[in-house]
């Protein structure tokens, strides 16, 4: 006896189809076990695939499980933003413009701009960012990216940051260095330590950053076109280390995925200055691509 599973595929953090980060959303994950969800995510072969389930919490509208081709993750940005948009456009959020989704880290609050039935923009709210100690082996980190040490941003620390999912933040001098970066996982483990999270390289710009993220060793994702869970700490990093101007209410944009032909614009809003950052949100637009049914044995 076979089962048919309905899914929707969208592009997230873009206003144009075939840009941004693709996401498959399975509208009803009931009856699927962990292994089946992982097998489906491998079959879809996208950065992430989500499965919508009934929530176990009274304060959440739905439960969302998130799988990369290699593992389940407790929290991620473009799956949260994209799944929210899909649920809203199918009337599954009750017309609300602010709800919470149950994810592996707990409730994740999302806000919808425009018509709640067809939102033009979705924001995902983040916890406050936490950062680890500076990675001092700058020569080793640069070499692990195929770069020279002068191509690192002078005076900006290399460190792990997280608002729920950790990433190693490596600030580079300019776009040329970001585009040239190529991760050697073994060398980066020697330089930055193990376990090694996803590696997020970027250069600061007046309005935000130009970015790339590599995670072949954690999620079977050679490069991610847009990483919302990494963009919250990125915004905090930029403000805390004075790499962007301004304080108080700050709105920044990270351009990611351009090098791989999937230009994404990840918006970041926050409040703070060099002394501290709060009220982090990451958001973007979503466009529909296709709908289909997957047949399961």
How far, CA to CA in Å, does 148 sit from each of 108, 135, 142, 180, 201?
39, 16, 6, 11, 14
CA 27 to centroid of chain Cα atoms: 21
Residue 176's nearest CA partner among 138, 135, 145, 137 is: 145
CA distance linking residue 173 with residue 204, whole number of Å: 8
Backbone angles phi, psi at 290, to 5 degrees: -160, 165
Q: Which of 4, 15, 36, 48 is catalytic?
A: 48
CA distance linking residue 254 with residue 268, whole number of Å: 8
How many Cα neighbours within 13 Å face the side chain of 148? 3
What does the angle CA 236 – CA 173 – CA 282 come to, to the nearest 5 degrees? 25
Q: Are 228 and 266 in contact (CB under 8 A)?
A: yes
Structure tokens, 61: 């509208």
Residue 224's nearest CA partner among 120, 85, 70, 92 is: 70
Residue 63's nearest CA partner among 51, 74, 72, 71 is: 51
- What distance, in Å, lies between the first and last C-alpha atoms of the chain? 6
Please indicate whether residue 43 is annotated as part of the active site: no
Structure tokens, 201: 């390289």
- Return all residues near 17 (Cβ < 8 A) that are at least 6 apart: 11, 287, 289
Task: Report the catalytic residues.
Answer: 48
């Amino acid at each position: 006896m076979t089962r048919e599973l309905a899914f929707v595929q969208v592009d997230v953090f873009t206003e144009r189809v075939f840009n941004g980060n693709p996401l498959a959303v399975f509208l009803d994950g009931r009856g699927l076990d962990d292994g089946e969800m992982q097998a489906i995510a491998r079959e879809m072969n996208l950065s992430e695939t989500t499965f919508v389930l009934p929530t176990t919490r009274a304060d959440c509208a739905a439960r969302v499980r998130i799988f990369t081709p290699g593992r389940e993750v407790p929290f991620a940005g473009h799956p949260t933003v994209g799944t929210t948009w899909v649920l809203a456009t199918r009337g599954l959020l009750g017309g609300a413009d602010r709800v919470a989704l149950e994810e592996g880290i707990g409730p994740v609050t999302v806000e919808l701009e425009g018509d709640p039935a067809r939102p033009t923009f979705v924001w995902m709210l983040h916890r406050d960012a936490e950062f680890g100690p500076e990675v001092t082996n700058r020569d080793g980190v640069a070499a692990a990216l195929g770069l020279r040490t002068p191509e690192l941003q002078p005076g900006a620390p290399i460190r792990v940051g997280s608002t729920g999912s950790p990433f190693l933040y490596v600030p580079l001098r300019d776009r040329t260095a970001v585009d040239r970066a190529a991760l050697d996982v073994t060398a980066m483990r020697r330089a930055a330590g193990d376990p090694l999270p996803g590696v997020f390289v970027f250069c600061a710009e007046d309005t935000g950053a130009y970015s790339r993220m590599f995670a072949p060793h954690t999620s079977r994702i050679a490069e991610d076109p847009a990483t919302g869970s990494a963009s919250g700490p990125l915004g905090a990093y930029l403000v805390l280390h004075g790499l962007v101007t301004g304080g108080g209410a700050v709105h920044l944009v990270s351009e990611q995925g351009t090098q791989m032909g999937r230009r994404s614009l990840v918006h970041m809003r926050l409040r703070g200055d060099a002394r501290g950052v709060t009220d982090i949100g990451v958001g973007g637009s979503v466009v529909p691509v296709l709908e289909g049914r997957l047949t399961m044995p």
